[in-house]
Each structure stands twice: as C-alpha cells, then as structure tokens.
Structure 1
Amino acid sequence: MSEQSRLSVFKTYKLYVGGKFPRSESGRVYEVTDSKGGSWLANAPQASRKDARDAVVAARKAFGGWSGATAYNRGQVLYRVAEMLEGRREQFVREVAEAEGLSKSKAGAAVDAAVDRWVWYAGWTDKIAQVVGGANPVAGPYFNLSTPEPTGVVAVLAPQDSSLLGLVSVLAPVIATGSTAVVVASEAAPLPALSFGEVLATSDVPGGVVNILSGRTAELATPLASHQDVNALDLTGASVDLARTLEEAAADNLKRVRRPAPEDWSTDPGTSRLTAWLETKTVWHPIGV
C-alpha cells in the first residue's frame, strides 16, 4: 500500500482512574487544538463530577498500600517512571510542542527537564524524613521523636501553561512523600498529561496512586474541594477567583491548601512541595524501657 493511500490512525485519549483507562462517565469529549494555528489535535474526554468522585475513591483505596511502602521502594518506583518517560521521549516532545506552541528543540528541553525532575524527586523519597524529622530535646527521661507522615488524598490542579514539566513538578512531590493524587490536567493542553497516565500504567505505580482527569477545571475542582475524603488541595492551576471559591469549600473539612502563585518551572524546586503534603507525628518514649 502506498504511503499516500494509507489512512492515519488517530489516538483515542482516555482518563486514567484506578489504574484503568475509562472514558468519561458522561461520554462527553471536547476539542483540543494546536496552540499556534488552532488546528484540531484530538478529542479529549471531558470528565464529570462522577469521574472526580470515582477518582477520589480510587486514590483513597490505594493510600494504605502506597503510604505503607518503604521510602526506598517509593524511590525505586518513581525512578522506573522516569525510565519509561525517557523511553517515550519523542512522543512527548511532539505533544508538548503542539500543546505549548514550542519549537521541537524547546519542547525537547522541557521533556528532558521533566524526566530529570522526576529522577530528582525519586531521590528525595528516603531523605526528606531526615530533613523535617528528628529528635527533640525535652526536660525529662524521655525520647521525643518527630517523624513525617503523608497527608492522604491530594487533589492537584495542574498548571495551565506547562503541560508536562509543570505537571511533573506538582505531581511528583505528592506521591514521593506517600500521598495519593487526583490530578486535573491543563484544560487547554491535556494531551501530555493523559499520555503520562499511560507511562504510569506501564511503570510500577500501583493503580489508584495517581488518577488523571481532563475537562473543565472549574467543573472538576469544585466537587474535589468540597469532598470530605480529600485531605489537601493544590490550587496551582486555578485562576484567582476560582482559587478563592475553592479555598472556601476546602475549609469545610480543614483541608491543607496550597495557593496559586507565579512559578518558574525551570528553577530548582527546593523541598517546599515535599513538605507541603506531610504531617508531623511526635512520639514520646521513656528512656531505658
């Protein structure tokens, strides 16, 4: 068959929930277009409130096993994700270039930075406890030890303007520290995030640890902010007005909230996102017992 007569095989993008790839519960899709010329790229699933609730259920179910894994094991799993992402580099370079209107070389640099950042967070899994934990001096014959514990289920609104590097920068610290995540992908550029779900599925990440939804950010964020089984909320991808509304909803069960702020995803991320999703547990123990 000649190349001219061959029909193109278009990719069907799906949500990533509980380790599986469902279509939106409502059956809705929306058009994703090239950021430069506005040409059609794909139909992305438009997730519903029901999809968001299903993702929370999956994240909660996975939390016990993931938070109970050793930090060393979590590091191994995260490094495997970086390996798989590196193996699909060319696909992500194309998707990021189309999503963000970048040249191939700049998109390649963004993908490489995303891989490097994932490796960087993989290295932190068994080190962050030494940074934020330790022995506390007390007046009495006791050991007083503080150790970090994961927060629980974290709902993450991914950056709108950085479809892969920004996504990795907000997601990796959540799962590196033992929490599980429900991610709302960039509304206008969700395709790299949905493809990243395929990377997670072919890595060693247990189903439900990461759940990725695409659709209208406000529609999906609202039920997540008020959900009683969501423990924390990262508002990075929310507008100022939406963030204010979501923060008010999150107060109902005292969720941890990280407010949106200008971010340069190319700089050293530091440890602030790692510590944002940790709780400190302090234990007293008598000396000599």
Structure 2
Amino acid sequence: MSESTRLNVFKTYKLYVGGKFPRSESGRVYEVTDSKGNWLANAPLSSRKDARDAVVAARKAFGGWSGATAYNRGQILYRIAEMLEGRRDQFVREVGEAEGLSKSKAGAVVDAAIDRWVWYAGWTDKIGQIVGGANPVAGPFFNLSTPEPTGVVTVVAPQDSSFLGLISVIAPVIATGNTAVVITSEKSPLPALSLGEVLATSDLPGGVVNILSGKAGEMGPHLASHQDVNAIDLAGADAALAKELEIAAADNLKRVLRPQPVDDWTADPGTTRLTAFLETKTVWHPTGSLGAGGSSY
C-alpha cells in the first residue's frame, strides 16, 4: 500500500483511573486545540461520577502505597523517569503543540520535567530525616517524631505548564506516600493523559495516580467536599475557584495548599510540596527500668 493511500490512525485519549483507561462515564468529550486553534484531539470531559471513581481507586491504593518502604517508592519513581525518557519525542511533540513552543524549547521543558521527577524520586527516603527526628524530653523516654502521608490528595494541575508544572505537583504527592486524583490543565490535557500511559506500564500500583481531564470548576467543588479526600493542592485554580474550593474543603478539615505565584517552574522547588501533605506521628518509648512498652499519639 502506498503512503498516499494509508489511513491515519488518530490517538484516542482516555482517562486514567485505578490503573485502567475508561472513557468518561458520561461519554462527553471536548475539543483540544493547539496555540493556533488547530484541532489536536478530543479529550474526555470527566463527570462527577468519574471523580468519585477516582477517589475510590485512590483510597484503595493508599494502604499499599503508604505502607511500601520509602526506598521502594524511590525505585518505582525512578523507573517512571526511565520510561519518560524513552517516550521523550512523544512528549516533546505534545508539549510543543500544547504550549506553542518550538521543538528545541519543548525539548528543554520535557528534559526539565524528567529531571524534576528524578529529583523527587531521590527524596523518598530522605525527607524523613529532614522533617522527623528525636526530641529532647525530661524523663526516661525516647521521643521520636516521624512523617506519615496525609492520604488521598486532589491536585488541580497548573493550567499553563502542561507537563513540567504537572510533574512538579504530582511527584511530591506520591513520593511521600500519598495517592492522587489529578485534574489536568483544561486547555492542554494531552501530556497529562499520555503520562497515564507511562504510569500504567510502570511498576506504580493502579490507583496511586488517577488522571481526569475536563473542567476544574465542575469537578473541583465535588472533590473538595468529598469526605474521603484528605487534602487538596490548588496550584492550577484561579482566585475565585480557589476560594470556593477552600470553603468546601473546610467541611472535613482538609489540608489545603493555596495557589502560589509561580513564574518559572524550572526554578528549584525546594521541599515545600514534599512537606505539604505529611502528618507528624510522635512516639514515646520508655528507657531503662520502665520496660519495653511504649505509647504513641
């Protein structure tokens, strides 16, 4: 068959929920265009039912993921970075189309995103030493504080940084043992949906990351008020939506990471996002003649 008569095989983008690739429960899609208005693909328009399914999947995965050793989580995250490197050309094309960048500039963004993923992978077994430690107390006790993951975290991904910003908000959440429900950039969801394909073929357990494309204003309030969501990152929410979601999140005392002015996602991220969704457990353990028993709170 000659090349001129060959039919193009267009990619069908789907959600990534519980390690699988469902279409939106409602069957809805919306058009995604490049910076010049040219059609790129139809992306799933997630519904509230899709959001609920994602929370169920994230909660189911939380026990195993949070219970894994930090070293094991780091190995899995590094494996994902290897796979991202293998798909570099695909992401360069998708990021370039999404953000209107030349191939060289898109390549620099993708390289920075992969480097950022590796950076967070290296923190999995080190953050405990930064935020935990032994506490001096008066009495025959050891008093130790250790960080533990908060639980299920909803992430409103950045709107204008379709891949580097996305990686910068997902990686720290799962590196510290949380599971994530991610609302992608509404106008540029394709790199995020392709990330789901990488995660599905890596060693990351299904449900640790769940990716929903669509309208943050439609899914956000439902997820912010969901009683089984423990925290929310408002990185990609505008001021009005952020205020609405903060109010909804207060109903079950969710941790909320408010939007931060980020002009350059390539800047050193520090440890702010790593520590944003950690809880501190303090353990008291008797020493000396008081025996081997102990208590914690």
Q: TM-score, normalised by structure 2?
A: 0.96
Q: 2:265 corresponds to which residue? A: 265
Q: CA deviation at 1:51?
A: 0.2
Deviations 1:173-212 (A, max 9, x none): 0000000000000000000000000000010000000000
Gaps of 5+ in 2: 292-297
1:138 maps onto 2:137 in alignment = yes
1:284 maps onto 2:284 in alignment = yes
Q: 2:223 corresponds to which residue? A: 224
Q: Secondary structure at the match of 2:91?
A: helix
Q: How many residues align?
A: 288
- 1:280 is matched by which residue type in structure 2? T
Gaps of 5+ in 1: none
Q: 1:251 corresponds to which residue? A: 250
Alignment of 1:117-266 (within 5 A): 117-263=116-262, 264-266=264-266
- 1:209 is matched by which residue type in structure 2? V
Could you say what the CA RMSD is over the residues aligned between the two structures, in angstroms? 0.5
Q: CA deviation at 1:42?
A: 0.1
- 1:266 is matched by which residue type in structure 2? T
Q: CA deviation at 1:153?
A: 0.1
Q: CA deviation at 1:222?
A: 1.1
Deviations 1:245-269 (A, max 9, x none): 0000000000000011211211011
Q: Secondary structure at the match of 1:95?
A: helix
Alignment of 1:67-86 (within 5 A): 67-86=66-85
Q: Secondary structure at the match of 1:279?
A: strand
- 2:152 is matched by which residue type in structure 1? V
Alignment of 1:27-66 (within 5 A): 27-35=27-35, 37-66=36-65
Q: 2:20 corresponds to which residue? A: 20
Q: Secondary structure at the match of 1:148?
A: strand
CA distance in 2, matches of 1:96, 1:197: 15
Q: CA deviation at 1:145?
A: 0.3
Q: TM-score, normalised by structure 1?
A: 0.99
- 1:226 is matched by which residue type in structure 2? S
- 1:26 is matched by which residue type in structure 2? S
Runs of 4+ in 1 over 4 A off after TM superposition: none
Q: Secondary structure at the match of 1:211?
A: strand
Percent of paired sites with the same residue: 82
CA distance in 1, matches of 2:237, 2:269: 20
Q: Secondary structure at the match of 2:266?
A: coil
1:3 maps onto 2:6 in alignment = no
CA distance in 1, matches of 2:86, 2:266: 22
Q: CA deviation at 1:4?
A: 1.6
Q: CA deviation at 1:7?
A: 1.4
Q: CA deviation at 1:54?
A: 0.3
Q: Secondary structure at the match of 1:283?
A: strand
CA distance in 1, matches of 2:247, 2:154: 15
CA distance in 1, matches of 2:86, 2:219: 31
CA distance in 2, matches of 1:54, 1:280: 29
- 2:12 is matched by which residue type in structure 1? T
Q: CA deviation at 1:66?
A: 0.1
Q: CA deviation at 1:3?
A: 1.6
Deviations 1:136-166 (A, max 9, x none): 0011111100000000000000000000100
CA distance in 1, matches of 2:77, 2:97: 26
Deviations 1:49-72 (A, max 9, x none): 000000000000000000000000
- 1:22 is matched by which residue type in structure 2? P
